[in-house]
A and B are shown apart, each in its own frame.
Chain A
């Protein structure tokens, strides 16, 4: 638990489901995959941690989200069991935290699972709210691709999560939810995750000829600085020649 022992007055509400990831409750048949990395072990600092100021002692680098499994009383919604039975091997892990259900799935099966979740009547996830990525650098499967889905008819929500490594492409769900088009473009722009089958994968927020993927953890906050504008004159000439080629 990452409470600060010396400072806080304690959070009020019960802390909800247990946070130890390694407990054995798996709700789905299929291979019980080991949790994807030990939960960040909170070594309490030897002295009271100062208020957020410059240079706190660097904590252990987090290696992945703790995906806590659902506690005893919570049974997963029916569509998850149905999903696991309709597509065996699809559910790697099931997680429940502060009221959200998360399903961890293998990257190769994303399209089938997505199609099932959209079409199955008890799931009916027709609104793809968000597609995003979290970058956990020390892990070999570095990126956590997350799909947040909502069903307008059944009024429930679920999150899908996949783990991919650097340079590993992910099938695009644009054919299933057109809403994912720009969302995946942004993920590509910011993190460099390639989506196969995307109709128009190009940068969306950064300029088209930008090098690098800004929101990765190893990309500096201040930007690449001189690395990009190595020789501004050459860059200008390149742009000029491109403009001239455009005007016929």
Chain B
């Protein structure tokens, strides 16, 4: 398909004549109402069946990794917000935890609990957005509005906490910049109460709906070992029956002190991934309730040197973002105030890799459903 000379590479896919004898090449995106951002999928169709798909990304590449080599350790928190902008606090947490690992700092318990609450709120917010866009792609447009109504409640909570609705910059190395405002935990519990009934509303509209079942059952089936091999993580992997969750396997923040279950699918189709994420709503609410009710007193930020300069060394640390395993690989050279190498392992990037494998043999209408089912955010894919 291509020549691989170092440097110059020819484009791998031709936009061939409109009426090829056998196959039609159809280009979806980068501007398309439902590719969730600037994603381009070049489909080769045999009638309506997809023979092959080539995913072209890079339209949102901003060079965050290289930029980070020129920012000091605290400034990078701002940049990490903008990767998975749907769930920005989880990016912050992952980064701060990695640097804390390098510095071997201990984060006070209260800060860990608040971080957990924020991460779980983000998980719900991200899944709300996923649900809304996924349902809208399949045609149920009302769920989109309902899910965003709940997301607004979460964004209001965040605005009260740190002043921003989308890109929070809400963590610092060693803890959080501010303690939670008074009454915030009551509002969080109130939100949990509201959310419980709303989840029922979504399920009423979708889970046993005949048309929904027909559109999602049996679409994009991938079994456990193959899903692991192809690099899926997060709910996309758990839908295939693999019990992998970073919160359970390599606990961070306050997860080792809280009780929760990890939902796992059976078959590995779109419907299972949907069910896994719906159940994750409930588990997140459970975690938030536990963390809020059991919030310990104490300092909100640990003992951190004023000038952050981790000693020379490198480490990899992963957390469970709503999309999957978000990993940070950071190298410090011990001398400068910037990291030497800042690498993000984006879950959406690795999940999107599986799209050609999932989409093969399905119809064009399923491509959109599968992109939604993988739950990608282009900011994270392209960085």
Contact = CB atoms under 8 A, between A and B. Distances in A.
Contacts of A232: none
Contact of A247 (B17, B225, B309, B318): B17
A82 interface: no
B81 interface: no
Contact of A192 (B6, B250, B309, B315): B6
B10 A205 contact: no
Size bracket of the B interface = 35 or more
Contact of A181 (B69, B353, B383): B353
Closest 7 pairs (CB-CB, A-B): A179-B231, A8-B305, A2-B334, A59-B335, A62-B333, A205-B58, A52-B337
A13 B108 CA distance: 12
A51 B325 CA distance: 34
A8 B329 CA distance: 25
Contacts of A109: none
Interface in B96-150: 101-106
Contacts of A214: 63, 66
A207 to B, nearest CB: 7
Name the prevailing secondary structure of the B interface residues: loop
A180 B354 CA distance: 11
A200 B231 CA distance: 17
Interface in A1-32: 1-4, 7-16, 19
A9 B303 contact: yes
Given A51-B307, A155-B250, A178-B229, 5 more contacts: A12-B105, A97-B313, A128-B231, A183-B231, A190-B65
Interface stretch (A70-78, A86-94, A129-137): A129-137
Size bracket of the A interface = 35 or more
A71 B312 CA distance: 17
Contacts of A16: 104
Nearest to B2: A202
Contacts of A178: 229-231, 353
A9 B306 contact: yes
A215 B65 contact: yes
A2 B229 contact: no
B102 to A, nearest CB: 7
A240 interface: no
B252 to A, nearest CB: 12
Contacts of B327: 129-130, 148
Given A129-B345, A202-B2, A7 B316 contact: no
Contacts of A51: 307
A49 B307 contact: yes
Nearest to A1: B311
Contact of A11 (B72, B305, B325): B305
B117 to A, nearest CB: 24
Interface in B230-273: 230-231, 233, 242-244, 249-250
A100 B318 CA distance: 12
B210 interface: no
25 contacts: A2-B311, A7-B306, A9-B305, A11-B103, A13-B106, A42-B335, A52-B338, A56-B336, A56-B337, A65-B331, A66-B312, A98-B102, A132-B329, A146-B329, A178-B353, A179-B229, A180-B231, A183-B350, A202-B4, A203-B9, A204-B58, A205-B382, A206-B58, A215-B65, A221-B66
